[in-house]
A and B are shown apart, each in its own frame.
Chain A
Amino acid sequence: GESVGLHLPTLSVQEGDNSIINCAYSNSASDYFIWYKQESGKGPQFIIDIRSNMDKRQGQRVTVLLNKTVKHLSLQIAATQPGDSAVYFCARAGGGSQGNLIFGKGTKLSVKP
């Protein structure tokens, strides 16, 4: 079966440090991955996405790396800020569309000032 899971449930970093959040997936047919940020009591917020024909994509302060060989996805946040504190989810969508997302368990990122 397919699943998307996260390695670590919690991550605590010092303000200004870089954060790395990891995600593993089991379905080798996965072709589209998305990272979401969810603050307490709010809906998920899109951060960055990557398709399976890429291995790296960069945004503003964020980078997503995709290693299809080991079915691993990571989100790197540079110069982590207190406002980055939230739960981060990786999600998978298949079939060329973004519908029917399968979410991982989530990693709670806490940023210490």
Chain B
Amino acid sequence: GAVVSQHPSWVICKSGTSVKIECRSLDFQATTMFWYRQFPKQSLMLMATSNEGSKATYEQGVEKDKFLINHASLTLSTLTVTSAHPEDSSFYICSAGDREQYFGPGTRLTVT
């Protein structure tokens, strides 16, 4: 139980385009989901907290207009990277859970 999936697992896009990443809790419901970003050989950094039915809470330094988060249901949160640039290339990881957090497998984004 407690499986979290992400789609896609990897994506390559051109600079200036937008990319949507999905995070799904497969066998449980989660009011809260979290989005992290991880650069190579670095730790996970929390980007935002996604709350079902309300606006996401962004960490300091994370542009809410660039990283759009939608948590439309108790099993799905999406992160859209708008007008992507090469510096947005990273490993994006979500987690879900109202008490214990369960992590997804991550999405590798490469912006060319």
Contacts and interface: CB of A to CB of B under 8 A. Distances in A.
Is A bound to B?
yes
B43 A104 contact: yes
Interface string A79-113: 00000000001000000011111111110000000
Contacts, number: 49
B103 interface: yes
A103 B43 contact: yes
B104 A106 contact: no
Query: How would you classify the secondary structure of chain B's contact residues: helix, strand, loop or mixed?
Result: strand
Nearest to A106: B43
B44 A100 contact: no
Measured as residues with beta carbon below 8 angstroms from the partner, the interface class of chain B is 20 to 34
Contacts of B6: 43
Q: Name the interface size band of chain A.
A: 10 to 19
B108 A98 contact: no
Given A98-B99, A99-B101, A41 B108 contact: yes
Interface of A: 36, 41-46, 89, 97-106
17 contacts: A41-B91, A42-B105, A43-B4, A43-B6, A43-B93, A43-B105, A44-B44, A44-B93, A46-B102, A89-B44, A98-B97, A99-B32, A100-B46, A100-B49, A101-B44, A101-B101, A105-B42
